Amino acid sequence: MSKKVLIANRGEISLRAIRACKELGIKTVSIYSEGDKELKSLRFSDESVCVGPADPTKSYLDAPTILSAADVTGSDAIYPGYGFLAEDYSFAEQCNLSGFKFIGPNSETIRQMGDKITAKSIVTKYGIDGVPGFNNKLPDDDDEVLKIANEIGYPLIVKATAGGGGRGMKIVRSSNELINSVQIAKQEALNGFGNDVVYFEKFIENPRHIEVQVVGDGKGNAIHLGTRDCSIQRRHQKLIEEAPASDVDKKKLDEVLENCVTLCKDLNYEGVGTLEFLYENECFYFLEMNTRIQVEHPVTEMVTGIDLVKQQILAASGERLTISQNDIKIKGHSIECRINAEHPESFIPSPGKISQYHQPGGLGVRVDSAVYQGYSVPPHYDSMIGKLITYADNRSECIARMKRALEEYVIMGINTNIQMHQKIIMTEEFKSGKYDINFMST
Ligand code: ADP
C-alpha cells in the first residue's frame, strides 16, 4: 500500500482525495499555486508544496515541477483527480518512470482511450456502437470532406479527437457551413488541445447523456457500478447528474453494461473509468471514455455505498478487486447539483470573497466543496466551487431533499447558480424524469 500520496490537483477533488487517503492511513501532500494559498485542502493534508504562479500552465500543469514536489516530499504515488494532467498519458508515463505510481490506468490505456477516434474503434470490437459518422481523420481535400458529410447527412457535428469539457465541437446544419466549421473546429482543437484532428458524428437531436461507471484492478478483474444520467447540461457541460439513469430499456442496458465490463477486463483496466453514451429511441451510442474520476462520481457512491477514490488507490497499490458484480446493489436515488460561482443570467464567472457561507446538512445531504466563509474564489480556475449531493429511497424524495438543501445553502458575496438549480429541479419536465440534453435550451 502507498504510504504518501501527492495530490496533483486543487479544490474539492483534492479534499475528496485527502479524505480517502486519511481513511486508508496514507499521508498526503497537497500542491498549490500562488493564487491558491487559501485553499481548504491545504489545511487538511499533512504537507503542502507551492508549485508556481496562479497561471495553471505554470503550476498545476507543470509536470516537472509536480514531479520535483513528489520527490522532495518523499511521496510514492500521485493522484491526478480530474482536469489538469488527469488524462495526460505522458504525465502518467513520467510519473511511473520517475518512480511514483500514477493513480489511474497505465499510460497506454490513457493514450488509446483518450483519443476519441481510437476509443471508438476499440469499443466497436466489443459490440459497443459509436455515434454513427466518419470516425477517422478527415482528408485535407475539401471536396472529399463535403462528400463524406453528404454521406452521413445533416445535421452533423465536427468534433476534436482530443476534445474535452464540451469544447471543440461544431454543429453543422448544411453543406454551406461545412468547410468553414471544419476550419474553425481544427483551429480551436489545435489551440485548446494541441491536436487539430477532427472527425464527424451524426448530430443526434434529442438524446439523453447516459454513462456507465467501471472499476478494474489492472489484473483482468472489472465490474460496473451502474449508470448516471447527465443530460442537464449547458453548452455541453454537465450541471446536474443523477444515479441511476431512470427509464432505460433493460435489455439494451444489460448488454451495454456487460460489454463495458468485458472491454475493461480485456484492457486490464486499472482504477475507475466512465464510458459515456448518447441514448435515443432505446439505442446507446458510445461517445467517449474518461479514464479518471468524474466530477459526478458521488452520485454513484451514494447508490452503491462504494468509495470510488479508495478503489482507485487500492488498485494502484496492487490490490485485487474484492467486490464482485453480484455485490453491487443499486439502492435508492442520488442527484448532484454543480454549484458554480457565476452570474445567474450571463453565466459569466463570479470570483471574489465569500462573505457568508452556510452549507446544508441533515439526512441524505452531502456537500463536496473546499470553500468556506472568508475564502476568495480565485479568477484563474474553473468556476465550480462545490457539489451538492442528495440521496433518498426514491427519485421524488431525492428531489424534495435537493429542494430543501438548496434552500438551506447560503453563499454571499459572489454570484452562484443555486437559484438556477432551484428552478430546474422544480420544473415538471425534471420532476417527470423525461428530459434530454436540450433541457436548458427549451
Ligand atoms: P467532451 O469530451 O467535450 O465532454 P463529449 O463527446 O463527451 O465531449 O460530448 C459532450 C456532450 O456534447 C454530450 O453529452 C452531448 O450533449 C453533446 N454531443 C456530443 N456529441 C454529440 C452528437 N453526436 N450529437 C448530439 N450531441 C452531442
CB 315 within 8 A of CB 215: yes
Q: Is 105 exposed, middle or buried (0-12, 13-18, 19+ CB in 10 A)?
A: buried
Pairing state between β 133-134 and 198-202: antiparallel
Cα(159) to centroid of ligand 1, in Å? Answer: 9
Average pLDDT, the chain: 97
Cα(14) to centroid of ligand 1, in Å? Answer: 27
Pairing state between β 384-392 and 365-369: antiparallel
Using CA atoms of 102, 310, 58, 67 in order, give the dihedral in degrees to the nearest 10.
-40
The three three-digit cell numbers of residue 117, written as one number? 477516434
Of the candidate ranges 10-24, 138-152, 161-175, 379-393, the one whose mean pLDDT is the lowest: 161-175
Distance CA 424, CA 411 (A): 19
Distance CA 322, CA 353 (A): 45
Write down the pLDDT at residue 165.
Answer: 82
Write down the pLDDT at residue 345.
Answer: 85
Distance CA 82, CA 375 (A): 22
Q: Is 172 exposed, middle or buried (0-12, 13-18, 19+ CB in 10 A)?
A: buried
Q: Is residue 201 within 6 Å of ligand 1 at its C-beta? A: yes
The three three-digit cell numbers of residue 215, written as one number? 472499476
Counting residues of the chain whose pLDDT is more than 90, the rounded percentage is 95
Counting atoms of ligand 1 from 1, which one is nearest the CA of 201? Answer: 23
Residue nearest (by alpha carbon) to ligand 1 atom 6? 287
Q: How far is it between the farthest Cα atoms of the chain?
A: 61
Best residue among 117, 236, 437, 441 to mutate for probing ligand 1, ranked by most atoms within 8 Å of CB: 236
Distance CA 438, CA 421 (A): 16
Q: Is residue 40 within 6 Å of ligand 1 at its C-beta? A: no
Cα(117) to centroid of ligand 1, in Å? Answer: 14
Element (H, E) at 148: helix 142-152
pLDDT above 90 for 1: no
CB 226 within 8 A of CB 296: no
Distance CA 374, CA 369 (A): 14
| 53 prior amide bond cis, ω within 30 | no
Distance CA 212, CA 196 (A): 28
Q: Which of 173, 172, 169 is nearest to 160 (CA)?
A: 169
The three three-digit cell numbers of residue 262, written as one number? 468485458
Counting atoms of ligand 1 from 1, which one is nearest the CA of 437? Answer: 16
| pLDDT tens sequence across 281-300 | 999 999 999 999 999 999 99
| pLDDT tens sequence across 307-320 | 999 999 999 999 99
Residue nearest (by alpha carbon) to ligand 1 atom 8? 166
Residue nearest (by alpha carbon) to ligand 1 atom 15? 236
Q: Is residue 236 within 6 Å of ligand 1 at its C-beta? A: yes
Counting atoms of ligand 1 from 1, which one is nearest the CA of 133? Answer: 23
Distance CA 15, CA 21 (A): 10
Q: Is residue 203 within 6 Å of ligand 1 at its C-beta? A: yes
Task: Give yes or no: 292 in active site.
Answer: yes
Cα(15) to centroid of ligand 1, in Å? Answer: 29
Best residue among 235, 287, 440 to mutate for probing ligand 1, ranked by most atoms within 8 Å of CB: 287
Q: Is residue 211 within 6 Å of ligand 1 at its C-beta? A: no
Counting atoms of ligand 1 from 1, which one is nearest the CA of 166? Answer: 3
Using CA atoms of 280, 284, 290, 292 in order, give the dihedral in degrees to the nearest 10.
100
Q: Mapping DSSP to helix (H, G, I), strand (E, B) and coil, where does residue 408 land? A: helix
Distance CA 374, CA 197 (A): 44
The three three-digit cell numbers of residue 344, written as one number? 445567474
The amino acid occupying position 270 is E
Catalytic residue among 10, 228, 292, 401: 292
Of the candidate ranges 39-43, 246-250, 352-356, the one whose mean pLDDT is the lowest: 39-43
CB 406 within 8 A of CB 423: no
Q: Which of 250, 234, 261 is nearest to 284 (CA)?
A: 250
Rounded to an integer, the average pLDDT of 258-276 is 98
pLDDT above 90 for 164: no
Rounded to an integer, the average pLDDT of 170-174 is 95
Q: Is residue 437 within 6 Å of ligand 1 at its C-beta? A: yes
Cα(198) to centroid of ligand 1, in Å? Answer: 14
CB 355 within 8 A of CB 413: yes
| pLDDT tens sequence across 187-230 | 999 998 989 999 999 999 999 999 999 999 999 999 999 999 99
User: In the structure, what pLDDT confidence band is assigned to residue 166 with cuts at 50, 70 and 90?
Assistant: confident
Rounded to an integer, the average pLDDT of 9-34 is 98
Distance CA 393, CA 358 (A): 26
Write down the pLDDT at residue 442.
Answer: 59
Q: Is residue 117 within 6 Å of ligand 1 at its C-beta? A: no
Rounded to an integer, the average pLDDT of 235-254 is 97
Cα(166) to centroid of ligand 1, in Å? Answer: 7
User: In the structure, what pLDDT confidence band is assigned to residue 26 with cuts at 50, 70 and 90?
Assistant: very high
Rounded to an integer, the average pLDDT of 60-73 is 98
| pLDDT tens sequence across 395-421 | 999 999 999 999 999 999 999 999 999
User: In the structure, what pLDDT confidence band is assigned to residue 344 with cuts at 50, 70 and 90?
Assistant: confident
| pLDDT tens sequence across 140-161 | 999 999 999 999 999 999 999 9
Cα(219) to centroid of ligand 1, in Å? Answer: 31
Rg (CA), the chain: 21
pLDDT above 90 for 74: yes
Q: Could you write out the DSSP letters of every residue in 184-212? A: HHHHHHHHHHS---EEEEEPPSS-EEEEE
Q: Is residue 204 within 6 Å of ligand 1 at its C-beta? A: yes
Q: Is residue 276 within 6 Å of ligand 1 at its C-beta? A: yes
The three three-digit cell numbers of residue 59, written as one number? 503550476
Write down the pLDDT at residue 46.
Answer: 98
Q: Which of 242, 217, 213 is nearest to 226 (CA)?
A: 213
pLDDT above 90 for 168: no
Distance CA 297, CA 363 (A): 19
Write down the pLDDT at residue 314.
Answer: 98
Residue nearest (by alpha carbon) to ligand 1 atom 22? 203
